[in-house]
Amino acid sequence: MTIVIFGGNGDLAHRKLLPALYNLHVDGLLPPRIAIAGVGRKDTPDAAYREFAKDGITKFSRRPIDEQAWQTFAAMLFFVKASLDGEQVLAPLGARLDIIEHERGLPGDRIYYFALPPALFVPTVKQLDRARFVNRTGDPVARLIVEKPIGRDLDSARAVNDAIAGVFDERQIYRIDHYLGKETVQNILVMRFANSIFEPLFNQKYVDHVQITVAEEEGVGTRAGYYEQAGALRDMVQNHMLQLVALVAMEPPHALDADVIRDEKLEVLESLRPIEGAAIDANVVRAQYAAGFDLGKPVPGYREEQGVDPCSRTETFVALQIFIDNWRWAGVPFFLRTGKRLPKRASEISVHLKEVPPILFNANPAARLDPNVLSVRIQPDEGFSLGISSKLPGPHVRVYPVKMDFHYGSTFGGSSPEAYERLLLDVIAGDPTLFMRRDAVEAAWRWVMPILERWAETTTDSLPAYPAGDWGPVEAGQLVESTGRRWRAL
């Protein structure tokens, strides 16, 4: 196998891809014969590229460098200079890859990874076609990994998908949503379908509501150029959060087959109740962080960040109330919130069960019992917990909320593989289960489009603000409180 990373000297390769490949190598999970070729515009000798990789691994790998493992890994790394601007630019790359593959006895099975600015996805796939790098027969293997974002709206996503489909079959395409590679996210299906205790409860009969939070402590940092064009709805909700909704809400698939699972997830996306017109103002809150504090240190507001338009209307926070109009979830609100500069980094799904009847222990209207909550912590401190009511020891019957808590770290020890490790391994094995199929990407865009369009039209009202270090604007609290519920404290 040859892995060709377009954008091989970029930030993603440095922080995620090369460290992930190194860890797979240390675990003995890479194919015995493999070459990894980074591609970029800068003139970079192989030795310098290996140093670049070593630096990334030293700084970002979950395991420290082991000199012996590093030496064998370094020997797999190459760099090929190629600018993707212009015509017929891949001929020299093809010649170099042929030599590398010949020297290492590789059959020419290749994975092409687009770790590139999204504007280069379409031109590069056309270049691959012109250079005759791709065949649809599977011999030799040609697979494509595409990073997010796929488009910035439905039309542009379709254009990217059309261009890629002109060169690769859908089964050769692996659209990354790195959230789906996280252990805890994969565990959602295991938790739901490998235990008889939870699944019977996952429906409108027993579930009062579901909350999904993806909170970032960091501000926009150095990514203003990208983020100004994206905002929280595009950056987080359209992809990661709707994927989490799909996993929590999907019907049991009849097999662990990639397309069976992806069909069931698609069903959920297609059952999302459209939020349109005035309903958007009532069900979707957007906001921007103002100056505030991060761990006691003053930090600037979004509009004061480097590279951000001082009049920017890009949302750094979004909260939504959504419904899935199918039999299982009829009438159950799903509350989603995500934002930058929130008090801490935390991603969690919580399933809030209905209260017990107001009889016996729950009879006092002034002291209602806490309903049971099943919470899945995606990061940090991966695990899940179930909040239940228990009797406080002593002569009186006093009920107290306790937790049954499972922590990955203490139960299984060691560090879990990074999402990119799992995802790269799956592409090498040809398993697309954890990747986004074209129809799902477009269904998610179709659903968010009315919101994006309304926001684009409403440019006069002021955007709600929240001080950096707070859990979003008051409007986000009101969104949930107006239904008689509260955001869960994280």
Ligand X SMILES: NC(=O)c1ccc[n+]([C@@H]2O[C@H](COP(=O)([O-])OP(=O)(O)OC[C@H]3O[C@@H](n4cnc5c(N)ncnc54)[C@H](OP(=O)(O)O)[C@@H]3O)[C@@H](O)[C@H]2O)c1
Give catalytic residue positions: 240
Residue in 76, 88, 81 with CA at minimum distance from that of residue 31: 76
For position 10 contacting ligand X by CB under 6 A, the verdict is yes
Judged by CB under 6 A, the residue of 147, 177, 208, 348 near ligand X is 147
For position 340 contacting ligand X by CB under 6 A, the verdict is no
Among 10-18, 213-221, 227-235, 336-344, the segment contacting ligand X (CB under 6 A): 10-18
Contact 9, 52 (CB under 8 A): yes
CB of 79 to ligand X, least distance (A): 10
Cα 222 to Cα 9, 188, 337, 354: the distances in Å are 17, 33, 23, 43
CB of 6 to ligand X, least distance (A): 6
CA atoms within 13 A on the CB side of 462: 4
CB of 262 to ligand X, least distance (A): 21
Structure tokens at 209: 């509501």
For position 42 contacting ligand X by CB under 6 A, the verdict is yes
Q: Which is nearer to ligand X, 237 or 275 (CB)?
A: 237
Task: Please give the residues from 65 up to 94 whose contact with ligand X meets the rule CB under 6 A.
Answer: 83-85
- Closest residue to ligand X using C-beta atoms: 10
The mark string for 100-139 relative to ligand X (x by CB under 6 A, - otherwise) is ---------------xxxx-x-------------------
Residue written as token pair 């593989």: 417
Residue written as token pair 């001929």: 91
Contacts of 119 (CB under 8 A, 6+ apart): none
Q: How far is CA 382 from the centre of its chain?
A: 15
Cα–Cα distance for residue pair 426/138, rounded to 1 Å: 16
CB of 5 to ligand X, least distance (A): 8
Contacts 24+ apart (CB under 8 A), 271-275: 271/324, 271/325, 271/326, 271/329, 272/242, 272/245, 272/322, 272/323, 272/324, 272/325, 272/447, 273/322, 273/323, 273/324, 273/325, 274/447, 274/450, 275/320, 275/322, 275/450, 275/451
Q: Which is nearer to ligand X, 86 or 105 (CB)?
A: 86
Q: Which is nearer to ligand X, 120 or 386 (CB)?
A: 120
Task: Please give the residues from 237 up to 296 whose contact with ligand X meets the rule CB under 6 A.
Answer: none
For position 231 contacting ligand X by CB under 6 A, the verdict is no
CB of 206 to ligand X, least distance (A): 36
Among 4-12, 59-67, 231-239, 350-358, the segment contacting ligand X (CB under 6 A): 4-12
Judged by CB under 6 A, the residue of 27, 31, 41, 102 near ligand X is 41
Among 11-19, 52-60, 450-458, 466-474, the segment contacting ligand X (CB under 6 A): 11-19
Among 58-66, 145-153, 289-297, 371-379, the segment contacting ligand X (CB under 6 A): 145-153
Q: Which is nearer to ligand X, 80 or 191 (CB)?
A: 80
Contact 4, 112 (CB under 8 A): yes
Q: Which is nearer to ligand X, 85 or 139 (CB)?
A: 85
Q: Which is nearer to ligand X, 178 or 352 (CB)?
A: 178
CB of 136 to ligand X, least distance (A): 25
Q: What is the DSSP string of 229-250?
A: HH-HIIIIIIIIIHHHHHHHHP
Tell me the residue type at 4: V
Among 22-30, 143-151, 406-414, 432-440, the segment contacting ligand X (CB under 6 A): 143-151
For position 7 contacting ligand X by CB under 6 A, the verdict is yes
Among 39-47, 237-245, 348-356, 369-377, the segment contacting ligand X (CB under 6 A): 39-47
Q: Which is nearer to ligand X, 40 or 292 (CB)?
A: 40
Q: Which is nearer to ligand X, 41 or 254 (CB)?
A: 41
CB of 375 to ligand X, least distance (A): 26
Cα 162 to Cα 87, 138, 166, 167: the distances in Å are 20, 20, 6, 9
Cα–Cα distance for residue pair 386/434, rounded to 1 Å: 26
Q: Which is nearer to ligand X, 60 or 323 (CB)?
A: 60
CB of 432 to ligand X, least distance (A): 18
Residue written as token pair 């992806």: 262
Cα–Cα distance for residue pair 436/438, rounded to 1 Å: 6
Judged by CB under 6 A, the residue of 3, 12, 57, 220 near ligand X is 12
Q: What is the CA radius of gyration of the chain?
A: 24
For position 11 contacting ligand X by CB under 6 A, the verdict is yes
Cα–Cα distance for residue pair 420/433, rounded to 1 Å: 14
Q: Quick one: DSSP state of residue 452?
A: H
Judged by CB under 6 A, the residue of 2, 3, 9, 112 near ligand X is 9
CB of 147 to ligand X, least distance (A): 4
Contact 76, 89 (CB under 8 A): no
Cα distance between the two ends of the chain: 44
In the complex, the residues that contact ligand X under the rule CB under 6 A are 7, 9-12, 15, 40-42, 83-85, 115-118, 120, 147-149
